[in-house]
Amino acid sequence: IIALGTNGGLDQNPIDTILTEIRTLNSTAPIWWVNVANAADNVVAFNDALVAQQDSGKISLINWAGVVD
């Protein structure tokens, strides 16, 4: 389960790099990622990128932003 802070957005939290590092250590582990509940532009882009990763089957998304809304 991955849950990151709200300040960095994609610049500080490169999703592809993080997933590659995890897959290097364990190619079959399920990955659950918690999105961020914040309306800042960089956070919206980050959450959109997480949805794309979920749609491609690379992660399962825990929709914290949806719960908070």
**pLDDT (tens digit per residue) in 42-66:** 888 999 999 999 999 999 999 999 9
Whether 19 shows a pLDDT value over 80: the answer reads: yes
Task: Please answer whether residues 41 and 51 qualify as being in contact, where contact means their C-beta atoms are separated by less than 8 angstroms.
Answer: no
pTM, rounded to two decimals: 0.86
Candidates 15, 9, 11; CA nearest to 53 is 15
Distance of CA 4 to the CA centre of its chain: 8
